[in-house]
Structure 1
Amino acid sequence: MNTVEPALRDEELARLLGGHPLAERLRRTLDRYPYRVAESAAAREPYLYRRLRALLAATPSAAELHADPEELAAVLAEAALADPRLGMALVTQLVLGQGSLLRLAGSPEDVREALDAVDTGELRIGYLVTEVGRASSHLEAGTVAEFDATTREFVLRTREAADRKFGGVARFPGPRGAVVVARAVDAEGRAGGVFGFLATLADRAGPRPGVVLGPSVALSALPLNYHRVRFDGLRVPEAHWLRDGARLDGRGRLHDPRSADDRLRRTLSVGQELWGVLPTVLAALARRSAVLAVRHSRHRATRAALAPGTPLLAHRSQQRALLGALADAFALSCAAARARELLLAARESDAPGAAAGFAPWSAVSRPLSAYKAHCADEAERIVADCQRRCGHAGLADANRFPGYHGFARAFDPAGGDSRLIRYDLGRALLEESPGGESPGGGPPGGRPPGGRPPARELPAVPADLADPGWWPAVLTRHQHTLTARLRRARAERAGGGATPFEVWNPLLDQAAELGATYAARLAAQDVPRALAALAPGGPYHEPLTALAALAGLRAAERAAGPLLRHRTLAPGDLAGLDHALERAYDRLLPHLDLVEELFEAQ
């Protein structure tokens, strides 16, 4: 009897774990090209291209996928599970490249031919935003696109060596292009905002005139073809200027209804597409890694003196690590489901947002940027823990752990640098949160842990540490504590004519801690929210509740130092944590088979 079948009849559970009707078809398609690790870039590219073409043939068009975050996330997750390199190529091409065309083109017909060519695999495109010589280069792009009013073309130029772009450029005999992020300069030499430009980088004969591809840059953690790219007069038709609502008049003068800050936010708004679906991919990698590690530990016997011949999973230390990985992967899945919901809601409005602070990311979408940073960090940790618990087998490329870890690790700096996101989240939360109020909100009442007076609009912390609401309530209080601390520190430094740099430079780590806590709180609140949405009863209710409780307890264990140091909790508040963790492991252990099957079925 299939013990998972009744659980999968719950549509909400299937959606929570990233299940989608399209997934099975994609798996069958990708199974025609079994996973292998090519020995060289020359051998790798044809293999990846065959898999990409097959995958594209089995999926709807980019326009259809972008209209349905659930479907888009499912395609990316299946690709990354099958081959992390394929997943990364698809993220760049489908989400950032085609997403920019769909969102920002002046007219859909301007880029119709390119969209269709990418959909069939005839054209490969990337996304070039990072410049090699300067940090935060997206804030002041050195690459320029000068408008030639005579030919009605933009001319891309790299003015200095530091302005060279860095990104993936396929080693592919056909046409290769990229959305290049550059500063527009009109026919009168006036610099405008930062826009995307659809540029053809190479054709079957090689790089186009005006494009210089540097030597391939090796990245062993996620081997694809990365290059430094310099532009020396590459011409881009005006129709391929992703102008959004801007325009050029007959004399070539640029008119943009948006401010420079808001133009940057709008150009980079494709990031919210990535942030909305990336957590689903990362959660899928985390679930698969946990299942692989559990299976490895079930069947690998040990000769250790304590109990020769017993499987690794019989040892409590291994149980703590791997049952914990399953719980953390479940919590990540809850956050991923919420991120997809937020993406769908965010698409309903593209009104001008807030001005950029340290970085534009929170101005594009504060919660989605927070999910991106949190989920990438969590997935990297979960995969690394599972890999480590598999010994030498975890290092073998064929077992995919190195690729899964490389994929998750890549999205610390990629897709919006997570450190910058945390800095800016902390700054933005401080700017909007008046003294004494919780930036997280919540119902009033309850006495905070440690015997301190109740804080306004802070929720009560449940007495039972295993209550799914305990950890979100603790994080809400911790966010309040860190906000008050940062506010005091900023006030101490802000007098005497101090510059913004002098004020914030010593406080960036505090801002990052606040931003990370905000993101963790959002994700923690998603766990009880997800449990409440599931149909009551059934064979999965108890194991999922156990996973939820264990995930919160483990997170508290990891954060115990800061919670005590900043007096969000008193030592007595955590006195029962060890005992609660052991009970949670015992509660989950009888359901391990069901959890393993459930995670694998999705």
Structure 2
Amino acid sequence: MTLLAPSFSEYAREEIRRLLHGPCDPSSLSALTTLRKALADDPGPVYGPGQGELLLRRLRAMAEALPPGAELLDDPARLAAVHAGAAVADPSLCLAGLVHHLLCLGSLTELSDDPGGLEPQLSTLREGRAKGVYLITEAGQANSHLATATRADFDPADSSFVLHTPEPGAAKFGSAGTWGVEQTGVVLARLFAGGADHGVFAFMVGLTDEQGPLPGVELSSPIALDALPLDYVQVRFHRLRVAPAHWLSDGARIDRDGTVHDPAGSPEQRLQRTLRVGQGLWAAMPAVAAATSRRAAVQAVTYARQRRTGSRLAPGVPLLAYRTQQTVVLGALADAFALTCAADGALAVRAEGRSAAPPGREGGEEEMGFTPWAAVSRPLAAYKAVTVRTAARLTAECQHRCGFSGHLTANRLAAYQGFHHAFDTAGGDSQLIFYDIGRSLVEQEQPEPRPRPGEQKSPDVTSPHWWPAVLSRYQDDLVRELRRRGGADTTSDPFKRWNPLLEQAGLLGEARATLLVADDVTRALGRLRDHDLVRALTPLAALHGVLSARRWSGSLLALGTLDPADMEALSEATDRLCDAVMEQLPLLIEVFDEYGDHPGVAPTPLTWTRGSTS
């Protein structure tokens, strides 16, 4: 089962580059190649004792692949591609970069009304000469972003702020334990002025220098987190004085008598505006999920193609000859393609959102539900949640199908799985996002009456358009069911109304997010013009849909969206699509092996010590 060397036309290769990296210009792709080489030449984990200088070198390498100075955050596609490349090389570095660029620098850039007052720290962060940290989570309470206890008290004497951790449960949790380097944090704290609570704002705070914590900052001993290793600690503040210019006021101002004027209009809208920097992270995460998933899927397919079995059923055949193996590893390739399409969809949403008004201004507000995440940007929050969850499942399956080799550190499959599994709750809890999206769909949308059997003709099950059509019907069926059970009764107590409905509300939110991805797949296919590329990718797109339907089968059957005969047809369709994908496998490997090395799972290089024979 040797892979031949296929060849796409140059036009097709341009389409492949656009598919994998979004609307990045050629200079950006050249910078990505330079970044990969820099990371390969300076390897090592970016956590643990003595790793601070290594981390700064690697953050500088990432900064050199991004636009310079104040333009660093102006190209979301390039930001996503750089962090995706970092994730393939080292997921921990990617996390450090996401926090540094998109949360810390993003807050300083988007929320400050006086960027000049943030110097020289702002330039130091942009150039990678200091590490940026984002401190939002508090250790003592669930959903702490909704009940932030860290205080920033306005002092009218000099218009400064006093940052304080009022009790142990308000300690911040984050990757701020990198000793020996300068660290600057963006800290979310509740603003008190004139004796009143004015909501959660962000503040720029110096955390450490080369000698350790700065005055007023206390760091705990390290906290181990094996799934996504970085230098995690808890952080407490002891009446730390913050300069007026370091308040990221986002259009708000305070009179000398403590009167606060905030364009957000309410503490709820203030929180949404402060958290809107999360949109940059959510827009980048699908590209990260797609890049690591492509790498994992190509590794698993190559391993299954090369690994010979000793089974009595068919001694010596490769693993990939077995249907059970094909379904999983070719399915991983199909899901990686879907994530690649979703990455482009998320960047398109981000580009549209950057020209819109921020939450709290005219045209930009949405009512907060269980959490602020979906209210900040429902589609981007949905993209983040569904892509990291898909990538976590996909990489775990690839790891399992590669045997013991899948667990070797050198192959990074465990690191990819840990990264995405951790991000299921980080950056906005995915399940809470799904709950909120489901709730809003039930309260805001009235589905069309369901057609009678036979009235609506569906695409063939092996068509890429079949799965989006099924999901659209399923979404309407779920909305209809939840409205029937009282979900739309906004006059009732919200907890009593939604507590028994949360499981199905979460399914509805996940279905909406999954439909975004399914539509992105058909949209991406529709843009392609090279016939060889379309022929290679079409069965892969359809396989993604069929296997997704199998995973959703219980709920699809329970609501009657599909019937038992439909489900029986999925097994035959899976086999037919796997055969079609196998015929196109050399071309597909060329498409998704962007590093050009056909990566199998590599053994760890060994040295041998022979016992004495004397």
Q: If the TM-score is normalised by the length of the shorter chain, which range does it land in?
A: over 0.9
Is the Cα–Cα contact under 8 Å of residues 300 and 401 in structure 2 kept in the other structure?
yes
Equivalent pair of 1:302/1:309 in contact (CA under 8 Å): yes
2:375 pairs with 363, 372, 382, which one? 363
Among candidates 119, 123, 126, match of residue 119 of structure 1: 126
- Partner of 2:207 in structure 1? 201
Change over 3 Å in CA distance of 1:47–1:491 after alignment to 2 = closer
Q: Is the deviation greater in 15-24 or in 174-183?
A: 15-24
Asked whether the 8 Å contact 1:180–1:199 carries over to 2, the reply is yes
Q: Which residue of 1 aligns with 2:321?
A: 314
1:535 maps to which residue? 529
| Residue matched to 2:229 | 223
Q: Which residue of 1 aligns with 2:601?
A: none
The answer for the alignment partner of 1:592 in structure 2 is 585
Tell me, what secondary structure is at the counterpart of 1:228?
strand
Identify the residue that residue 598 of structure 2 maps to in structure 1. Answer: none
Whole-Å Cα distance in 1 between the matches of residues 463 and 152 of structure 2? 56
Q: Secondary structure at the match of 1:199?
A: strand
Equivalent residue of 2:584, what SS? helix
Deviation at 1:43, TM superposition (A): 4.7
Q: How far, CA to CA, are the matches of 1:172 and 1:11 in structure 2?
A: 44
CA distance in 2, matches of 1:315, 1:65: 48
Residue in structure 1 matching 2:176, options 162, 166, 169: 169
Whether the 8 Å CA contact 2:328–2:397 is kept in 1: the answer is: yes
* C-alpha contact (below 8 Å) 1:168/1:225 kept by paired residues: yes
Specify whether residues 487 and 62 from structure 1 end up closer, same or farther in structure 2 by C-alpha distance, changes over 3 A only: farther
Map of 1:224-373 to 2, 5 A cutoff? Answer: 224-258=230-264, 259-351=266-358, 352=360, 353-373=365-385
Cα shift at 1:269: 0.5
Deviations 1:25-74 (A, max 9, x none): 33334434437555981154443333222332343236424211111111
SS at match of 1:230: strand
Further displaced range: 290-299 or 407-416: 290-299
State the match for 2:514 in structure 1.
Answer: 520
Taking the aligned partners of 1:137 and 1:593, their CA distance within structure 2 comes to 49
Partners of 2:236 and 2:524 lie apart in 1 by 47
Matching residue of 1:482: 478
Answer yes or no: is the 8 Å Cα contact 1:18–1:284 preserved in 2. Answer: no
Q: Report SS of the residue matched to 1:582.
A: helix
**Match runs of 1:364-443 below 5 Å:** 364-434=376-446, 436-437=447-448
Question: Per the alignment, do residues 8 and 310 of structure 1 end up closer, same or farther by CA in structure 2, a change over 3 Å counting?
Answer: farther
SS across alignment from 1:17:
helix
1:86 has 2:80 as partner: no
Greater alpha carbon shift after TM alignment, 29-38 vs 270-279: 29-38
Distance 1:169 1:491 in 2: 42
Give yes or no for contact 1:461–1:470 (8 Å, CA) kept in 2. Answer: no
The structure 2 residue matched to 1:548, chosen from 541, 547, 565, is 541
Q: Structure 1 residues 505, 312: CA separation in 2 closer, same or farther (over 3 Å shift)?
A: same
Q: Which moved more, 1:21-30 or 1:125-134?
A: 21-30
What does the per-residue CA deviation read over 1:476-525, in whole Å, with 9 as the maximum and x for residues that have no partner? Answer: 11111111111121269878xx5321222111112111111111111111
- Match of 1:219, SS state, is coil
Residue by residue, what CA displacement relative to the aligned partner does 1:412-458 show, whole Å, maximum 9, x if unpaired?
11111111101110111111113x438xxxxxxx956xx27x6xxxx
Q: Supply the distance in 1 between the matched residues of 2:12 and 2:117 (Cα, whole angstroms).
A: 44
- Structure 2 counterparts to residues 86-105 of structure 1, below 5 A: 86-105=93-112
1: CA distance, partners of 2:478 / 2:196: 44
TM-score, normalised by the number of residues in structure 2: 0.90
Distance (Å, rounded) in 2 between the aligned partners of 1:523 and 1:156: 42
CA distance in 1, matches of 2:487, 2:150: 38
Return closer, same or farther for 1:486/1:399 CA change in 2, 3 Å cut-off.
same
What is the one-letter code of the residue matched to 1:361? Answer: W
What is the 5 A alignment of 1:172-187? 172-186=179-193
Aligned-partner SS, 2:382? helix
Alignment check: 8 A CA contact 1:36 1:398 kept: no
Q: Indicate the residue corresponding to 1:511 in structure 2.
A: 505
* 3-state SS, counterpart of residue 490 of structure 1: coil
Task: Report the alpha carbon displacement of residue 374 of structure 1 after superposing the two structures with TM.
Answer: 0.6
Deviation at 1:346, TM superposition (A): 0.5
Conserved in 1, the CA contact under 8 Å of 2:345 and 2:520? Answer: yes
**Aligned 8 A contact 1:80 1:86 in 2:** yes
**Root mean square deviation of aligned Cα:** 2.2
Which residue, out of 68, 73, 77, partners 1:70? 77
Deviation at 1:134, TM superposition (A): 0.8
Alpha carbons of structure 1 residues 283 and 62: separation in structure 2 relative to 1, 3 Å: farther
1:152-205 deviation line (CA, Å, top 9, x unaligned): 21111111111111011151423211111111111x222112111111111222
Secondary structure class of the residue paired with 1:403: helix
SS of the residue aligned with 1:67? coil
**Is contact 2:478–2:508 with CA below 8 Å preserved after alignment?**
yes
Q: Which residue in the other structure is 1:443 paired with?
A: none
Unaligned runs of 5+ in 1: 439-445, 455-459
**Compared CA separation, residues 277 and 307, structure 1 to 2 (3 A):** same
Cα distance in structure 1, aligned partners of 2:120 and 2:179: 19
Tell me which amino acid in the other structure corresponds to 2:171: R
Task: State how far apart, in whole Å, the 2-side matches of 1:491 and 1:97 are.
Answer: 38
Structure 2 unaligned residues grouped into runs of 5+ = 596-614
Distance 1:492 1:194 in 2: 30
| Rounded Cα–Cα distance in structure 2 between residues aligned with 1:79 and 1:413 | 21
* Aligned residue in 2 for 1:149: 156
SS of the residue 2:186 aligns to? strand
Give the drift of 1:336: 1.1
The answer on whether the counterparts of 1:125 and 1:178 sit within 8 Å (CA) in structure 2 is yes
Is residue 18 of structure 1 aligned with residue 21 of structure 2?
A: yes
The question of whether the paired residues in 1 share the 8 Å contact of 2:487 and 2:501 is answered with: no
- 1:192, 1:254 within 8 Å by CA — same for their partners in 2? yes
Partner Cα distance (2:10, 2:330) in 1: 20
Deviation at 1:380, TM superposition (A): 0.5
SS at 2:9 equivalent = helix
Contact 1:37 1:398 in 2 (8 A): no
1:466 corresponds in structure 2 to: 462
Is the Cα contact below 8 Å between 2:305 and 2:318 reproduced in 1? yes
Whole-angstrom distance in 2 between the partners of 1:461 and 1:379: 32
Please give the residue correspondences for 1:54-69 in structure 2 after superposition, counting only pairs within 5 Å: 54-61=61-68, 63-69=70-76
Q: Percentage identity across aligned positions?
A: 45
1:3 maps to 2:14: no
3-state DSSP class of the match of 1:598?
helix
Alignment-derived partner of residue 558 in structure 2: 565
Deviation by residue 1:283-329 (Cα, 9 ceiling, x = unmatched): 11100100111122222222222233332222222122111110111
- C-alpha contact 1:361 1:421 (8 A) present in aligned 2: yes
Q: CA deviation at 1:392?
A: 0.6
Contact kept in structure 2, 1:124 and 1:175, CA below 8 Å: yes
Matching residue's letter, 2:247: W
SS of the residue corresponding to residue 601 of structure 1 reads: coil
Q: 1:203 to 1:312 in 2, by over 3 A?
A: same
- SS of the residue aligned with 2:191? strand
- Aligned partner of 1:442 in structure 2 is none
